[in-house]
């Protein structure tokens, strides 16, 4: 008779994972120092040494976000958990929320807001375009919101949304601004305090060059006021920042067992960000993106986003007529060990998405990809 418990442990081979060149929309490649940090021996989540690292992480995150906000922490969850934390903490049932949708992650913001009982108004642009200040202002006049949510770096399209004037319009109407910076933090300027972003969140697996699993978030004074004057508790207990902040604040009150190794990795990744310097890091991402764009155009490939609002960290390339986009991605992976991604939502099957983020953003990786695409697309 067979073993009803299933195969014996000896039937399972050891991990044998290839070291890919990750040039998709995330995760990005991880610096060896970050991998080494993950192998650091565990301590308890209330150990004095770990609490010391928590303080340093918060300081480094404030540098990355360019903010002085005290409530700046890594949510124990992916970027989508940080997105949900932003919505859950700022939105109560019946609140008016304006969501600007020009891609997949704007849709996700709207869906989350609906699930928390918000009265959701959306404005839309074709996938790949960005919003004007006038569009946001007109929508707010017609339906005054408590919260406006917008994506700075839309991972599904490669469009970069200007924010400065929009933030001013939002505040002029006494609303707060939530910004998705998952594919921008550490790769392009975010400047939370200078722009006037009230809640900004990101993920560790993109421009910060760490494994997925944590969602940095920062909450400004206007948003903290909303948080402290809520009429009812935050509906999501795990992501309730009024409780979580007591673990990350002076109280160090137990909330959950923090992912120790992931925080070690984030600390080392943020140290690398600080060593390079934000200005230099932004310039590196831009320089390598321009190298990619020039090379793609030399291969007679068309870029989906106009240069005026093209995101340096994530490039969308239109699939040429008659080309099987999935077959090209498969050839890149199997023959060249390079990962890129296909399109999402409205752009599924129409574009490739190429990420140059964090440790992945190097001229060598750009040249490897361009040479591989040339051979796949143009070899007889």
Q: Are residues 132 and 233 in the same domain?
A: yes
157 located within any domain:
yes
Q: What predicted TM-score, i.e. pTM, was given to this entire model? A: 0.96
Q: What is the CATH number of the domain that holds 41?
A: 3.40.640.10
Radius of gyration of the chain from its Cα atoms, rounded to whole angstroms: 22
- Given 223, 250, 274, which residue is the final one in a domain? 274
pLDDT in tens, 231-266: 999 999 999 999 999 999 999 999 999 999 999 999
Q: Given pLDDT bands bounded at 50, 70 and 90, which one contains residue 10?
A: confident
* Domain residue limits at 367: 21-27+278-378
Query: H helices within the chain, ranges in order?
Result: 32-38, 48-65, 79-90, 104-115, 133-142, 164-172, 192-195, 221-228, 241-248, 260-276, 278-298, 325-336, 363-378
Q: 263 near 38, Cβ under 8 Å?
A: no
Q: What's the domain count of the chain?
A: 2
pLDDT in tens, 353-377: 999 999 999 999 999 999 999 999 9
Q: Given pLDDT bands bounded at 50, 70 and 90, which one contains residue 4?
A: low
Q: Are residues 158 and 245 in the same domain?
A: yes
pLDDT at 304: 97
Q: Given pLDDT bands bounded at 50, 70 and 90, which one contains residue 72?
A: very high
Q: Given pLDDT bands bounded at 50, 70 and 90, which one contains residue 5?
A: low
Q: Are residues 100 and 200 in the same domain?
A: yes
Q: Residue 23: which of 367, 376, 265, 322 has the closest Cα?
A: 367
Q: Are residues 196 and 122 in the same domain?
A: yes
Q: Are residues 305 and 173 in the same domain?
A: no
Q: Are residues 309 and 185 in the same domain?
A: no
258 located within any domain:
yes
- Given 217, 240, 274, which residue is the final one in a domain? 274
Q: Are residues 329 and 181 in the same domain?
A: no
5 located within any domain:
no
pLDDT in tens, 294-335: 999 999 999 999 999 999 999 999 999 999 999 999 999 999
- Here the tokens at position 237 are 């207990």
pLDDT in tens, 178-189: 999 999 999 999
More confident residue, 370 or 14: 370
pLDDT in tens, 120-134: 999 999 999 999 999
- Given 222, 246, 274, which residue is the final one in a domain? 274
Q: Are residues 154 and 251 in the same domain?
A: yes
């Amino acid at each position: 008779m067979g073993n009803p418990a299933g195969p014996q442990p000896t039937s399972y081979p050891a991990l044998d994972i290839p070291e890919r060149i990750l040039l998709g929309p995330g995760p990005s490649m991880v610096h060896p120092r970050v991998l080494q940090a993950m192998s650091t021996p565990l301590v308890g989540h209330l150990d004095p040494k770990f609490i010391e690292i928590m303080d340093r992480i918060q300081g480094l995150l404030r540098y990355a976000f360019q903010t002085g906000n005290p409530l700046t922490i890594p949510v124990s969850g992916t970027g989508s958990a940080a997105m949900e934390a932003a919505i859950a903490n700022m939105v109560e049932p019946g609140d008016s929320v304006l969501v600007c949708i020009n891609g997949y992650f704007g849709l996700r913001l709207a869906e989350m807001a609906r699930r928390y009982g918000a009265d959701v108004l959306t404005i839309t642009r074709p996938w790949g375009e960005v919003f004007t200040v006038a569009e946001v202002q007109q929508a707010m006049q017609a339906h005054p919101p408590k919260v406006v949510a917008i994506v700075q770096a839309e991972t599904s399209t490669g469009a970069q949304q200007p924010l400065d004037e929009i933030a001013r319009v939002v505040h002029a109407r006494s609303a707060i601004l939530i910004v998705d910076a998952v594919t921008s933090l550490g790769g392009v300027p975010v400047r939370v305090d200078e722009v006037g972003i009230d809640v900004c969140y990101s993920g560790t697996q993109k421009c910060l060059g760490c494994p997925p699993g944590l969602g940095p978030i920062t909450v400004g004074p206007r948003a903290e006021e909303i948080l402290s004057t809520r009429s009812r508790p935050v509906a999501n207990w795990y992501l309730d920042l009024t409780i979580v902040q007591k673990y990350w604040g002076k109280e160090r009150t137990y909330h959950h067992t923090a992912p120790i190794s992931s925080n070690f990795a984030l600390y080392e990744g943020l140290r690398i960000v600080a060593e390079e310097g934000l200005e230099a890091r932004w310039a590196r991402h831009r320089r390598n993106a321009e190298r990619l764009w020039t090379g793609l155009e030399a291969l007679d490939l068309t870029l989906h986003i106009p240069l005026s609002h093209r995101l340096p960290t994530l490039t969308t390339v239109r699939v040429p007529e008659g080309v099987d986009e999935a077959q090209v991605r498969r050839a890149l992976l199997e023959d060249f060990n390079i990962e890129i991604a296909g399109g999402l939502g409205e752009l599924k099957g129409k574009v490739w998405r190429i990420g140059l983020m964090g440790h992945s953003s190097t001229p060598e990786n750009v040249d490897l990809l361009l040479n591989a695409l040339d051979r796949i697309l143009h070899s007889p």
